[in-house]
Amino acid sequence: MREQVPRGIIQPHQTRGDVRETCDVVVMGSGAGGAAAAATLAEAGLDVLVLEEGAFHRTSEYGANATAMFSALMRDGGATATIGRAPVPYMEGRCVGGSTVINGGMCWRTPEDVLDHWAGAMGLPDLAPAALDPLFDEVEATINARYQDPGSEGGNNEVFRRGAEKLGWKYQRNKRNQIHCVGSNECVTGCPSGAKQSTVYSWLPRVFARGGRLMTHCKVTKVLVERGRAVGLAGTLDDPHRRRKFVVRAKAVVLAGGAVQTPLLMLRNKIAPKNEHVGRHFTIHPNIKVAALFEDRVESMRGVHQAYQCTEFKKRGILLAPGGIPLMFTAVAFSDFGRRLAERMRDYHHIATGGVLVDDFSSGRIMAPLGIPLVKYDVTDIDQEKFVEAAGLLATLYFAAGAKEVYLPFHGYPVLKSVDDVKKLHDHMPRVEDTEYFTAHLMGSCRMHGDPRQGVVGPDGQCWDLPGLYLADASVMPGTIGVNPQVTIMALARLIALRLADKLQRRAAA
Amino acid sequence: MGRNFSFKGHTRRIARALVDTMMPRWPELEVDLTDRILDDVEGVVRGFPAAFQVGYVAGLWALEAASPLLGGGPQPFTRCDLETRERRLRALQDSKVPQLRQVLLLYGVFVTASAYAQPEVEAFLGVPRRAWRDARARFRERLVQMEASRPLRPATPEALGSHGVAPAATYLDEGTLAAEALRAMGE
């Protein structure tokens, strides 16, 4: 039976001409932050309208053609990268559900030491572990953050677990937002079985159940400001037939476009022009990929994307994880082409893939010179040392699991044939410029801080410099967290939305 | 440019030569996928911002005009045979200038991603991805049906499991399991 478009979603063909709307709260973005905030506000009895730049896609429309799905689900067809010493490709979801549609679905609470730091040094006592725990509980229940069905892990995760166990390294089972993830292993191009509980299946139905609405194809270009207060959003409606505009007026405005789009909108609109923190303190948890060749078949296609994480080196800011990916992404991981790559890919069934993630010391900046988006980020030499160490650790793990060869993403480095080769890595440290990174974790470009001189938003998520403007996405994260961020984003968005709902209700009562 | 972007005229010939060089080849696989991959790459570039599209096309022309500097004679890229084209791209790949390598990597990503997602390539490498996706989706339907009749769902973060449908040992076994699931669904 064909999946229905949820009631509450308004697509361009359902409206005519320019669109004018009013509501209590208008929310830009339907990803982890926007959807969680919208559901919280709608359930508080407020009239909520969500504006999403991308389209709505049914699960049946998540097709097998990966390049077509890149174009359908991601900003700029997935061809987005930071600029700096080495480009770091990143992906931003641009569809109903945002990046929760294209992420791997890992669910980790913010580590307690991170929350303690935020609560203490950054003047945010409401982010202390005890205060956020109930929110984490709610988030995890909403998105079904569960361990995998036993047996669904697959060979790619199995070799990782085996290596960690042989070395006696601590590893943990991942919670993922899924209901019966059956190991299709195509998370990045939209879960084809509907198992992943993106916001389309978790938060947004709660918005619609309480009468909230979501308009697709709405590119927000302007924050409406009157008498020093944010009063709405305006922009263009991406109608293929003709150029249309929309204007939404509201009592409060919530930006949840993510750690790149939210500061970009603020910079282009010259919001808080004297606040030097807008667009700064941007962190990305850079990743690198490692592949390993085994004698036995690994069958990376079968099984969940990531069932475990090795946390043995977490205190050193290093996280190791398997990362099962479909054939085409495994081929891409080798950064080769043509006949040589073709010969290597004959071994596909025997190849395992994983990655390392480091807590980044460096921070980047989002800029909009002449309105042009620029995302600047430089991996520092300190972080690079951690990457090289981490790559060596993951190679060691794979050799312990029985790998014959390990491939590292450092230009010009030979294939590692044994654990002894790992030591040679440190003899000649690969440069940042010779390393291939990627990331999916963009955070902290409009950070929350208890001191107005040190951040963009206060503890309630309201912009210090513009009343009525709230931020509820990864941009408000006060710093890097060292784990996959969607649960943190949702918890912060819910906290901000609860405060906002309370404020609007009290204002209405008065 | 913009959402109507397409490779035209000689730009198309350069893009096609690039795809032809970067796509996988195996002696045993005779099907020519060049145009299909080129269409895919064109579709991806269509989704880029206009400035990026201009840069992408400029890069193609730079390859056409400047690649003789990489060896193999004075011919532009499109006039070279496969070996020469590959040798030139390998020279770029091995360049000491990281930016050149990074640009080549970008061009290669879309060719490789498209090529290895082609059904013929998947079949050749023994990766029945499309069938796997379908079988998994149907299997999940069965698990969800089972979920509906379960009195209490385990609280998060516990796994839901697949009791009564598939033991852990055969959870990822699409052959017997998919058939069993389909039978159970009356198909």
**Nearest Cα residue to B56 out of B66, B48, B65:** B48
Residue A478: cis peptide before it, omega within 30 degrees of 0: no
Q: Is A327 in Cβ contact with B117 (below 8 Å)?
A: yes
Q: Is A237 on the interface with B (CB under 8 A)?
A: no
Burial annotation A129-152 (CB, 10 A radius, 16+ → b, else e) = beebeebbeebbebbbbbbbbbbb
The CA distance from A75 to the nearest CA of chain B, in Å, is 8
Residues with Cβ < 8 Å from A92, sequence gap 6 or more? A74, A75, A80, A98, A99, A258, A260, A261, A442
- Answer for the pair B42, B34: CB distance below 8 angstroms, yes or no: no
Domain that holds residue A258: 21-53+94-144+197-281+444-509
Q: Is A274 exposed, middle or buried (0-12, 13-18, 19+ CB in 10 A)?
A: exposed
Is there a single domain that holds both residue A293 and residue A345? yes
Residues with Cβ < 8 Å from A154, sequence gap 6 or more? A183, A185, A299, A300, A302, A303, A304, A307, A324, B172
Is there a single domain that holds both residue A346 and residue A492? no
What tokens does B13 get? Answer: 């010939």
- The partner residue sitting opposite A341, judged by closest CB among B112, B126, B154, is B112
Task: Tell me whether residue A228 is in a domain.
Answer: yes
| CB contact residues (below 8 A), chain A span 434-463, against chain B | 434, 436
What tens digit of pLDDT does each residue of B34-82 get?
Answer: 999 999 999 989 988 888 899 999 999 999 999 888 887 889 999 999 9
User: Which residue out of B104, B122, B136, B145 would a mutagenesis test of the A interface target, given it has the greatest number of A Cβ atoms within 10 Å?
Assistant: B136
Is there a single domain that holds both residue A230 and residue A261? yes
Tell me the CATH number at A464: 3.50.50.60
- Measured in degrees and rounded to the nearest 5, phi and psi for residue A222 equal -140, 135
Is there a single domain that holds both residue A306 and residue A240? no
Task: Tell me whether residue A89 is in a domain.
Answer: no
Look at residue A428 in the predicted model and tell me its pLDDT. 83
Task: Tell me whether residue A62 is in a domain.
Answer: no
Burial annotation A464-494 (CB, 10 A radius, 16+ → b, else e) = bbbebbbbbbbbbbbbbbbbbbbbbbbbbbb
Is there a single domain that holds both residue A216 and residue A100? yes
% of chain A exceeding 70 in pLDDT: 100
Question: What one-character-per-residue DSSP string does A16-37 give?
Answer: -SSEEEEEEEEEE--SHHHHHH
The CA distance from A506 to the nearest CA of chain B, in Å, is 34
B contacts of A330 (beta carbons < 8 Å): 116
Task: Tell me whether residue A320 is in a domain.
Answer: yes
Q: Please give the single-letter amino acid code of residue B2.
A: G
Look at residue A1 in the predicted model and tell me its pLDDT. 56
Helices (H), A91-149: 112-120, 129-143
Is there a single domain that holds both residue A162 and residue A208? no
Task: Tell me whether residue A64 is in a domain.
Answer: no
What tens digit of pLDDT does each residue of A3-23 get?
Answer: 788 899 999 999 999 999 999
Helices (H), B1-81: 9-22, 34-46, 50-66
- Torsion of the alpha carbons at B131, A74, A199 and A264, rounded to the nearest 10: 170
Is there a single domain that holds both residue A220 and residue A353? no
What is the average per-residue pLDDT within A47-69?
Answer: 93
Q: Is B112 on the interface with A (CB under 8 A)?
A: yes
- Within a 10 A sphere around the Cβ of B128, how many other Cβ atoms? 15
Q: Is B2 on the interface with A (CB under 8 A)?
A: no
What tens digit of pLDDT does each residue of A290-314 get?
Answer: 999 999 999 998 999 999 999 999 9
Is there a single domain that holds both residue A117 and residue A229? yes
- pLDDT band at residue B185 under the 50/70/90 scheme: very low
Tell me the CATH number at A169: 3.30.410
- What is the longest distance spanned by two Cα atoms in chain B? 75
| CB contact residues (below 8 A), chain A span 397-416, against chain B | 411-412
A contacts of B23 (beta carbons < 8 Å): 337-338
Q: What is the 3-state secondary structure (H, E, C) of A370-392?
A: HHCCEEECCCCHHHHHHHHHHHH
A contacts of B43 (beta carbons < 8 Å): 67-68, 71
Is there a single domain that holds both residue A299 and residue A398? yes
Q: Indicate whether B19 pLDDT > 80.
A: yes
Look at residue A68 in the predicted model and tell me its pLDDT. 87
- The partner residue sitting opposite A327, judged by closest CB among B101, B127, B137, is B127
Task: Tell me whether residue A9 is in a domain.
Answer: no
Question: What one-character-per-residue DSSP string does A189-244 give?
Answer: G--TTS-B--TTTTHHHHHHHTT-EEESSEEEEEEEEETTEEEEEEEEE--SSS-E
The CA distance from B10 to the nearest CA of chain A, in Å, is 22
Picking from A412, A434, A456, the residue at the C-terminal end of a domain is A434
Is there a single domain that holds both residue A390 and residue A413? yes
B contacts of A433 (beta carbons < 8 Å): 98
Task: Tell me whether residue A316 is in a domain.
Answer: yes
What tens digit of pLDDT does each residue of A418-433 get?
Answer: 999 998 888 888 999 9
Look at residue B175 in the predicted model and tell me its pLDDT. 61
DSSP β-bridge partners for residue A352: A292
Picking from A367, A400, A434, the residue at the C-terminal end of a domain is A434
- The partner residue sitting opposite B159, judged by closest CB among A150, A192, A434, is A150
Q: Where are the domains of chain B?
A: 2-124, 129-184
Is there a single domain that holds both residue A274 and residue A392? no
Rounded CA separation A217/A238 (Å):
5
- The partner residue sitting opposite B114, judged by closest CB among A67, A87, A151, is A67
The count of domains in chain A is 2
- The partner residue sitting opposite B98, judged by closest CB among A86, A179, A342, is A86
Look at residue A335 in the predicted model and tell me its pLDDT. 86
Is there a single domain that holds both residue A244 and residue A115? yes
Q: CA-nearest residue of chain B to A431?
A: B98
B contacts of A434 (beta carbons < 8 Å): 98
Residues with Cβ < 8 Å from A93, sequence gap 6 or more? A31, A54, A73, A74, A75, A99, A100, A101, A102, A103
User: Which residue out of A58, A107, A191, A193 would a mutagenesis test of the B interface target, given it has the greatest number of B Cβ atoms within 10 Å?
Assistant: A193
